[in-house]
Amino acid sequence: MDPDIPLFVEVLRAGSLSAAARHVGLSPAMVSKRIARLEARLGTRLITRTTRRLEPTAAGEQFHRDAAAILEALAAAEARVAGRQASPAGPLRVSAPTSFGRMHLAPRLKPFLDAHPGIALELNLSDAFTDLVAERIDLAIRITAAVPPSLVAHRLASSRRILCAAPAYLEAVGAPAELADLKRHRLLAATGQLPWRLTRPGATRLVDGRSHVVTNSSEVVRELTLAGVGVALRSLWDVADALGDGRLVRLLPDWQGSADVGVYAVHPRGAPVPGVAALVDYLRDLWATSHWA
């Protein structure tokens, strides 16, 4: 194999020529020269160099996925010949929604990390649907009803959502008796979460309006709801404990968020980096019997 190919894979993993150079023991100038040599041999530009970071071109992104898959297959073949059991190894960049990652992912990662000591995990928490390719995210946890066709999606669990409010809020303004009553209540939702699509057997309704407080944070919506500011549509994974201890009360129990919303693991198309399949399998087993699904 052309030695410039694994160097190219390392450059994208490291995110810069200088970082890759330090890792492989070469000068940045030599790394740049070898990447340029590879681009000349392939007859296409693989990387766009900006003042802040390196970005793979479309051809570079596809070549990187194919090359990374080949390198992984070679490592696995070598391990089999040597009589060792191949285990995923290398960097694995994962993103997840802030609350979900903090509550249900980070506390449960130890068994996975113990089983795969060769994986160098990087976990980024954000409520934004980031561009996985631009941010070089290998696997993202998303709670959504629609996954872009550019991504490979693995449904891990359902995400049941219910209407709820704090007892103090209900004491002040009363509880809604029917869906239409929500028009006179303060609604709470993060940017982009309204309208709410609610269902019950044989019926679907949209509840639209403005959030009483504008925020881009789902965690802020949760805290506002607990503080008695208004009514929210929340996932059971987020509020089950508060419902259980009485800090929140479920409203209009015949209605719930549409069932098409689920918890997904998604990654760009093409051969995933080592560790993605193992983490997907682990999370699917972990959340298969979750009480909030």
CB count, 10 Å around CB of 248?
25
Tens digits of residue pLDDT in 49-93: 765 667 888 898 888 888 877 877 776 676 666 555 557 888 999
Query: Which amino acid is residue 17, in one-letter code?
Result: L
Question: Is pLDDT of 272 > 80?
Answer: no
DSSP code per residue over 211-250? BSS--S-HHHHHHHHHTTS-EEEEEHHHHHHHHHTTSSEE
pTM of the model: 0.67
Q: 30 with 45, same domain?
A: yes
Please give the C-alpha separations between residue 138 and each of 58, 91, 218, in angstroms, as whole numbers: 16, 9, 24
Q: List Cβ neighbours of 124 (8 Å cut-off, separation of 6 or more).
A: 93, 94, 95, 96, 137
| Range among 55-59, 65-69, 215-219, 232-236 rated most confident | 232-236
Total structural domains within the chain: 3
- What gap in Å lies between CA 220 and CA 185, rounded to an integer? 18
Q: Are residues 110 and 127 located together in one domain of the fold? A: yes
The pLDDT tens digits of the residues spanning 167-178 come to 999 999 999 999
Is residue 77 one of the residues assigned to a domain? yes
pLDDT average, residue stretch 223-252: 96
Mean pLDDT, rounded, for 187-206: 93
- Same domain as 267, residue 152: yes
Q: Which two tokens stand for residue 170?
A: 């209900």
Residue 116's domain is classified under what CATH number? 3.40.190.10
Is residue 293 in a domain? no
Is the pLDDT at 150 greater than 70, yes or no?
yes
Q: What tokens does 52 get?
A: 């802040």
Mean pLDDT of 235-262: 93
Tokens linked to 166? 């704090």
**Position 3 confidence tier, pLDDT thresholds 50, 70, 90:** confident
The kind and range of the H/E element at 94 are strand 90-96
Range of the domain at 129: 90-158+261-287
Do 153 and 166 lie in one domain? The reply is no
Question: 230 phi and psi, to 5 degrees?
Answer: 180, -160
User: Quick one: 73 and 147 in the same domain?
Assistant: no
What are the tens digits of pLDDT across the range 4-49?
A: 998 998 888 777 888 788 878 889 899 999 999 999 999 999 998 7
Mean per-residue pLDDT over the chain, rounded: 88
Is the same domain home to 200 and 269? no
Q: What are phi and psi of 96, to 5 degrees?
A: -155, 155
Question: In this structure, is residue 121 part of a structural domain?
Answer: yes
Q: Are residues 220 and 135 in the same domain?
A: no
pLDDT score recorded for residue 71: 79
Same domain, 204 and 62: no
Residue 12: inside a domain: yes
Residues 129 and 271 in one domain: yes
Q: Which of 44-58, 158-172, 247-261 has the weakest average pLDDT?
A: 44-58
pLDDT band at 293 (very low <50, low <70, confident <90, very high): low
Same domain, 222 and 283: no
Q: Does 292 reside within a domain?
A: no
Axis-axis angle for helices 17-24, 28-42 (nearest 10): 110
Query: Mean per-residue pLDDT for 157-173?
Result: 95
